[in-house]
Amino acid sequence: MPLVFSMTVPLSWYLLVAAALFGIGFFAVLSRRNAVAALMGVELMLNAVNINILAFWRYVRPTDLTGQIFAVFVLAVAAAEAAVGLALIISIYRTRSTINVDEIDLLKG
C-alpha cells in the first residue's frame, strides 16, 4: 500500500498541481477587490508551497522527516499571518467602513 501512489504518479504531476494553485492564488491577490478575498489567495499560495515541500520530501528523501517538519512550520506561520491579517482588515473596516482595496489609499502620493 505505501508504494502504490509513488509508482504510478510521477513527481512532476504534484509540482504542476502546486504551480496551478500558486498561479490561481497569485491571480486572486492581484485582482480581487475585497481584502479578505486577497488573503484567501495568499492562503492558496501557501498551500501550493506546502504541496511542493511534501512532494519533494516523498519523492527525494522519504526516510528523513525534515520535509514534514518544514511543512508544519509553514502551516504555523500561515496561521499566524492569517490571524494578524484578518485582525488588520477588521480594524480597517471599523475605522474606514470599507474593505475595498481600491479605497484604502491613505498612503497614495
Partner 1 sequence: MAIVFIVIASITVLMAIGTVTARNLFHAALFLVGAFFGVAALYATLDAGFLAAAQIIIYIGAIATLIIFAIMLSRSMMGREAGALNRQWIYAAFGALLLFVALAALVLTTTFNTTLLPVPDNVIYQIGAGFVGTYVIPFEVASILLVAALVGAIMLARERHR
Site for partner 1 in 11-50 (CB under 8 A): 11-17, 19-28, 30-34, 36-37, 39-41, 43-44, 47, 50
DSSP assignment of 63-103 equals TSTHHHHHHHHHHHHHHHHHHHHHHHHHHHHHHHS--BTTT
CA trace torsion 51, 53, 68, 81 (10° rounding):
-70
Kindly state whether residue 106 participates in binding partner 1, applying the rule CB under 8 A: no
Work out how close the CB of 52 gets to partner 1 at its nearest, in angstroms, rounded to a whole number. Answer: 10
Binding mask 63-102 for partner 1 (x = CB under 8 A): x-xx-xx-xxx-xxxxxxxxxx-xxxxxx-xx--xxxxxx
